[in-house]
Amino acid sequence: MHKENSFLLNDWHPIAAVAETVVGKQYSTRVLGKEIRYTLTNDHLIARTENSDLPLLLTKITYGLLWVSLSENPRDVPDIPEFKEHDRRVISAGAIRIATSGLRVVENFLDMAHFPFVHTDILGAEPLTEVTAYDVEIHEEVDEVHAVNCRFTQPKGSAAASEPVDMQYVYRIARPFIAILYKTCVVDPNRLDVLGLFIQPVDEESCIAHTIMCYLDDVNTDKQLRDFQQRIFGQDLMILLNQVPKGLPLDPKYETPVRADALSSAYRRWIKARNVTFGTAR
């Protein structure tokens, strides 16, 4: 049995996109309710908590992001091999601060049923609202939850799409605050585009979403890709700010799911089993 929230403490958390950080400048932010100061040098990230007597925090630069850990011995960040493929473009869609639990944000990211209602005429359109059965897999060796065989008809599934696409999705829940989406690549049907949602848990009911695209796209400019992603996120924001309670309910009877929510149910169950309470409704 995990100690309460040790699953989060013994891990890495993103704090900023490399591309958006000015070298030499001092910044401050929060992770899991703790104040953190950091500076990016030419080759290192230096970070410490408010208490300058304590040793420096462990840091890491990967997947286009700056990471810190509050532990001295965190397990490694999840492996996302696509970031090593040189023909992919890695683009940050920006850091978006949201006044709700990061767990609610991840759950929204894992959800297909809202596409026609929240991302109307982009990721879905009435009356094509059916969520067909998909499979949830538990990968014990890496302690992850995946959903495979997900599909949804999308009027404009990506910035590169010019006509409706039957989008195929694979969702990968790698950490309570990290989810990765693999989706049909409009440019190369044999490969998948990768969209990573890396949440910085600021406090129990506030977070910063760092979204990183790892795409095969030779048509759109960085700005076009970023604009597309930000437009989608803006639509989700209206939902996320109006979900009550802000914490994710883990009691299976508090919110009533249907079969389309099988992944969300598995996510809640997985969080509960790891004794994560930070960001949950209690």
Nearest distance from C-beta of residue 165 to another protein, angstroms: 16
Among 41, 51, 162, 242, binds another protein (CB under 8 A): 242
Q: State the sign of the Cα–Cα–Cα–Cα dihedral 121, 122, 126, 127.
A: positive
Among 46, 89, 221, 254, binds another protein (CB under 8 A): 254
Examine residue 269 and tell whether it contacts another protein (CB under 8 A).
yes
- Interface segment toward another protein; rule CB under 8 A; list 25-33, 186-194, 211-219, 263-271: 263-271
- How many residues bind another protein (CB under 8 A)? The answer is 41
Length of the chain equals: 282
DSSP line for 37-70: EEEE-SS-EEEEES-TTSPPPEEEEETTEEEEES
Instruction: Output the six-digit token pair for 93.
Output: 């869609």
Contact residues for 62 (Cβ-Cβ < 8 A; gap 6+): 77, 83
Angstrom distances, CA of residue 91 to CA of 25, 152, 162, 245, 271: 22, 25, 21, 33, 29
Examine residue 235 and tell whether it contacts another protein (CB under 8 A).
no
Residue pointed to by tokens 């992850």? 144
Among 20, 56, 117, 219, binds another protein (CB under 8 A): 117
Examine residue 257 and tell whether it contacts another protein (CB under 8 A).
yes
Examine residue 22 and tell whether it contacts another protein (CB under 8 A).
no
Please give the residue ranges that form the binding site for another protein (CB under 8 A).
107, 112-114, 116-118, 125-127, 129-133, 136-138, 238-239, 242-245, 249, 251-262, 265-266, 269, 281
